Structure 1
């Protein structure tokens, strides 16, 4: 019976979460292709304004994380994500219709607001369905929507920009979220108790498993107490610096590649997709072994350190060898993504359900600030220096600090909770 429970959960929920997060990531990441094409010339966007527009998303993303997580935890993650899908799909499509840079500023900020609750709401939803021994993998399959989307988006966006222009790229890549919202509403339930495809004994077995895990955690009264936790504070700082590297990379990689001699947008799209192939492999491997050992820390900080060293190596090479420099950027991109599953499994294992969602939202909101800084400052440094060396050093230093904060924040110790019901994933 346990195996039947696992198979039903994995194939019914994970594809839906993956597609939803993929569409969210598509709406935020394709701006890099608009910026690398004719968008700036058409709208009269300066390099400094382009950096601001790329980063404004994360400012809107920052402000509504915790309220969104609170609503998802105490009301309905399903309902919140449904309306978010419609909002961000509409805003992403509108990006291709405007001709005024002031409207674009508003759209970029509101797009961040619309997507702000998706990540914490999804993590809360998955924590209602998957046990401690499965959580890193469940989180990874969710967040795989990030690199997997950038992989195919990089190829598709390159072709759309080249053949139809940047406006149609935004329009055609925004509409699917609106359509998908209605599939999401029909197919997802907030908790196992509402699922018609589980039997009552199956529901009870999973509920007992999750309840036993909660009983092993020290009670925490409220968000204030949780937010004062040393681990939560350090992980918030860690995620802020980590996100500087990730989003500096995601937003500006197309521009970095396009700057190479005789590089077309189609070639830029294909090359921009390569780091995300490595990212997918790294994420699956790290999450699998993290769940097997229940050791989260050792599958986080080493990858961040590798990413830091790869950025520094690319800086040392400069423009002397494009392909070797690109290989190091590919390594940096893959290493930065690999730890996401283990990282987001940490908080539900140290904080009880009543505050875990809020703590994850706080950490994610600090990541949004890091993302804002990364996407803005990397673009600013590229424009100010006329090259990419300074931004490589900036991203390398940020990832190094993230690795250090991970070592300080997470204690490595044997798991204190042993599952009473072995619910194995398919």
Structure 2
């Protein structure tokens, strides 16, 4: 942890993706204003939020390939500039169709970031370090929500939603140049690194790559039933996850009409989510158990979503929203440890790409159908029942995947430590 790479790489990537995730948080806070200004339905609002994930799909697989064969640093730099411009363009739209188009383009630009950063981290961190590196980086998701929801609410108090989107598109462009100046693709390019540390790291990484199993490609991954189980699970989880994330501010708006207060209140569930995410990942590592630490939080979130529809008190609603936030965020760490434990090594890389690419379409499914149900019923109840069902089904699929692993495959995947998946 004292190594210079932890200071040079992780914080820069953390802030970069925190700014990217802002575009999935601010739209929820701004949505009531957007609906009033553009005179759109809840279903259309779900489309505006969700179409981002249709664009997000496009560069998921090409992004990883470009980062590997060309340069993760340069590819991400270009994408940061493009997403910043698209974010600012969101504030220049005049109607629903234009906003959908810009949100789609924003998703395309941001879609290549995730796989490219994973490639970058693999170039810098050994197998033993990579789980921690991924965990520290992914912690930016709830942190972004904690910070950006209040910030967006405060800005909205003084400016229109269009100006807020323009203002929030500027920081990524500035950070792109920080990224380009500090980040290096590989240790061999880092002049700031101690030569002894550099050589030791390069030798370790080279040795690990020499032992790596050659990928069998996406064709083999497409034919694997376990891969499709993970894709379905991830799609269901993301349906509930992003449906919840988008519509929480609209629920909180029922408590107060002050946008700044709404922003601060929206941050409370996501603060709880960060704490839950860290504790659950740490506990999962201590117990060396993955599936239980995915299934249990998802089932808790499903139950609290349903329970929230039967309480009227704002205090109880906030408590249940916070418990739900813990449940939908907590699986992040343990979940990404499951594919490498149950999928053949030759197709695991392709499987992860498919899981993230297709599964993230749940980010369209959740907000869209929540909005449709809101329009049909005139309240939030049916939408939250739908999201709760998605989370419960995700938990069930995860449980089935865990139970389907044979002891033989477990022994083949384990050396010194046996990871319990069920």
Q: Select 2:414's aligned residue among 416, 419, 426.
A: 416
User: Which residue of 84, 87, 105 maps to 1:89?
Assistant: 84
Q: In structure 1, what is the equivalent of residue 296 of structure 2?
A: 302
**What value does the CA root-mean-square deviation take over the aligned residues?**
2.5
Does the 8 Å contact 1:133/1:291 carry over to 2? no
SS at the partner of 2:379?
coil
From 91, 99, 106, give the equivalent of 1:104. Answer: 99
**Match for residue 424 of structure 1?**
none
Distance 1:272 1:181, change over 3 A: same
Residue pair 2:215, 2:349 contacting (<8 A) in 1 also: no
By relative contact order (CA 8 Å, sep 6+), the higher-ranking structure is: 1
Counterpart in the other structure of 1:69:
64
Match of residue 228 from structure 2 = 233
**Alignment correspondent of 2:119:** 124
Residue 282 (structure 1) aligned with residue 282 (structure 2): no
Q: Contact conserved, 1:213 with 1:417, CA < 8 A, in 2?
A: no
Q: Compare 215-224 and 355-364 and name the one that shifted more.
A: 215-224
Conserved 8 A contact 1:245-1:374: yes
Q: What is the aligned counterpart of 1:30 among 3, 15, 26? A: 26
CA distance in 1, matches of 2:349, 2:147: 31
Q: Distance in 1 between matches of 2:89 and 2:213?
A: 47
Normalising to structure 2: TM-score of the pair?
A: 0.89
1:150 aligns with 2:148: no
Q: Structure 2: how far apart are the matches of 1:184 and 1:64?
A: 20
Which residue of structure 2 aligns with residue 401 of structure 1? 393
The CA deviation string for residues 264-287 of structure 1, in whole angstroms up to 9 with x for no partner, is 222211111111111111222233
For structure 1, the 5+ residue unaligned runs are 420-426
Between the aligned partners of 1:191 and 1:229, the Cα distance in structure 2 is 33
2-structure distance, mates of 1:205, 1:230: 40
Cα distance in 1, alignment partners of residues 275 and 134 from structure 2 = 15
Aligned to 2:237: 242
- State the aligned residue count: 411
Q: Which residue of 2 aligns with 1:10?
A: 6
CA 1:74 to 1:250, structure 2 compared with 1: closer, same or farther past 3 Å? same
The 5 Å alignment of 1:189-208 reads: 189-208=184-203
CA distance in 2: counterparts of 1:210 and 1:288, whole angstroms: 25
User: Quick one: distance in 2 between partners of 1:210 and 1:295?
Assistant: 27
Counterpart of 2:53 in structure 1 is 58
**2:420 alignment counterpart:** none
Partner of 1:383: 375
Aligned mates of 1:349, 1:129 — CA distance in 2: 22
CA deviations 1:171-210 (Å, max 9, x no partner) are 1111101111111111112222322233444234334444
Mean alpha-carbon deviation: is it higher for 220-229 or for 77-86?
220-229
Deviations 1:119-156 (A, max 9, x none): 12222222332334433332222222211111111111
1:167 partnered with 2:162 = yes
Q: 1:244-283, CA deviations, whole angstroms, 9 ceiling, x for partnerless residues?
A: 11100111111111134x5422221111111111111122
The residue aligned with 1:423 is none
Tell me the CA shift for residue 375 of structure 1: 1.2
Change (3 A) 1:91 1:294: same
The 2-side partners of 1:408 and 1:214 are apart by 32
Q: Verify the 8 A CA contact 1:133 1:292 in the aligned structure 2.
A: no
**TM-score, with length taken from structure 1:** 0.88
User: Is the contact made by 1:69 and 1:117 (CA closer than 8 Å) also made in structure 2?
Assistant: yes
2:319 aligned partner: 327
Offset of residue 377 of structure 1: 0.9
What are the superposed Cα offsets for residues 344-388 of structure 1, whole Å, 9 maximum, x if unpaired?
244456679986544322111122211100011112212221111
1:254 aligns with 2:268: no
Q: Structure 1 residues 65-74 or 172-181, which shifts more?
A: 65-74
* Counterparts of 2:363 and 2:71, CA distance in 1: 27
| Aligned-pair CA distance for 1:211 | 5.1
Query: 2:280 and 2:249 mapped to 1: Cα distance?
Result: 27
CA distance in 1, matches of 2:341, 2:184: 23
Equivalent residue for 1:267?
261
The residue number in structure 2 matching 1:422 is none
The correspondence for 1:312, drawn from 306, 313, 328, is 306
